[in-house]
């Protein structure tokens, strides 16, 4: 268990497509634990493996709802509905927020830390977070798709 260094833009690892995890090993499980600790330490609500310099399709998310900590290996969006436009920030792009259009409801499928397939449906912030983190796995940052980008002020904390 360790807090890892969060990679910052313009590091090229953030712009690359992460590779599928083909085998869940103790190292993958340790990475999940480290990523969660790193996310909590940075006061974020999501973190993707490329943000800690690892090009693997792994995300952790905790938006403070009834789902608690969600760990997903090889996550993919299998359904989406509706639309929302709202603010996003990113632990890898401190000092900036943006207005990003996302689906309002998404269903995501992936593997848990033990290799079991799980499917989770989220709305609002959880849906936004899933989409944001899966974008990271595809080398896409919120600034690539934001309709407007602006500096963070004290009344707009950076949240991912």
Q: Which tokens hold the place of 37?
A: 């600790």
Q: Confirm whether 5 is domain-assigned.
A: no
Domain count, the chain: 1
In a domain, 156, yes or no: no
Q: Label residue 153 by pLDDT band (50, 70, 90).
A: confident
Q: Look at residue 119 and tell me whether its pLDDT is greater than 90.
A: yes
Residue 12 to residues 67, 133, 138: CA-CA distances in angstroms? 32, 17, 12
| Binding region for Fe cation | 90, 132, 136
User: How much is the CA Rg of the chain, to the nearest whole Å?
Assistant: 14
Please give the torsion angle defined by the CA atoms of residues 113, 10, 76 and 74, in that order, rounded to the nearest 10 degrees: -30
The per-residue pLDDT for 154 is 64
Q: Could you say which DSSP state residue 56 is in? A: B
Residue 52 resides in a domain: yes
What is this structure's pTM? 0.94
Asked if 37 is an active-site residue, the reply is no
Q: Is residue 36 part of a domain?
A: yes
pLDDT digits (tens, 9 = 90+) for 88-100: 999 999 999 999 9
pLDDT in tens, 3-33: 999 999 999 999 999 999 999 999 999 999 9
Please state, in angstroms and rounded to a whole number, the distance separating the CA atoms of residues 120 and 58. 15
Name the active-site residue from 71, 88, 133, 160: 133
Provide the pairing of β-strand 46-48 with 58-61: antiparallel
Length of the chain: 160
For the chain, percent of residues with pLDDT exceeding 90: 94
Write the CATH number for 66: 3.90.45.10
Host domain of residue 19: 12-151
């Amino acid at each position: 268990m360790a807090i890892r260094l969060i990679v910052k833009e313009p590091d090229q690892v953030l712009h690359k497509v992460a590779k599928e995890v083909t085998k869940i090993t103790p190292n993958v499980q340790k990475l999940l634990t480290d990523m969660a600790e790193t996310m909590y330490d940075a006061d974020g609500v999501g973190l993707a493996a490329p943000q800690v310099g690892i090009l693997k399709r792994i995300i952790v998310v905790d938006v403070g709802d009834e789902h608690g900590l969600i760990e997903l290996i090889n996550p993919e969006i299998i359904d989406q509905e509706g639309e929302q436009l709202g603010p996003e920030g990113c632990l890898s792009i401190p000092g900036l927020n943006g207005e990003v259009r996302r689906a309002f409801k998404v269903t995501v499928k992936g593997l848990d830390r033990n290799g079991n397939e799980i499917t989770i449906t989220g709305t609002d912030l959880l849906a936004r977070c899933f989409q944001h983190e899966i974008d990271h796995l595809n080398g896409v940052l919120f600034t690539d798709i934001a309709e407007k980008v602006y500096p963070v002020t004290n009344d707009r904390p950076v949240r991912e």
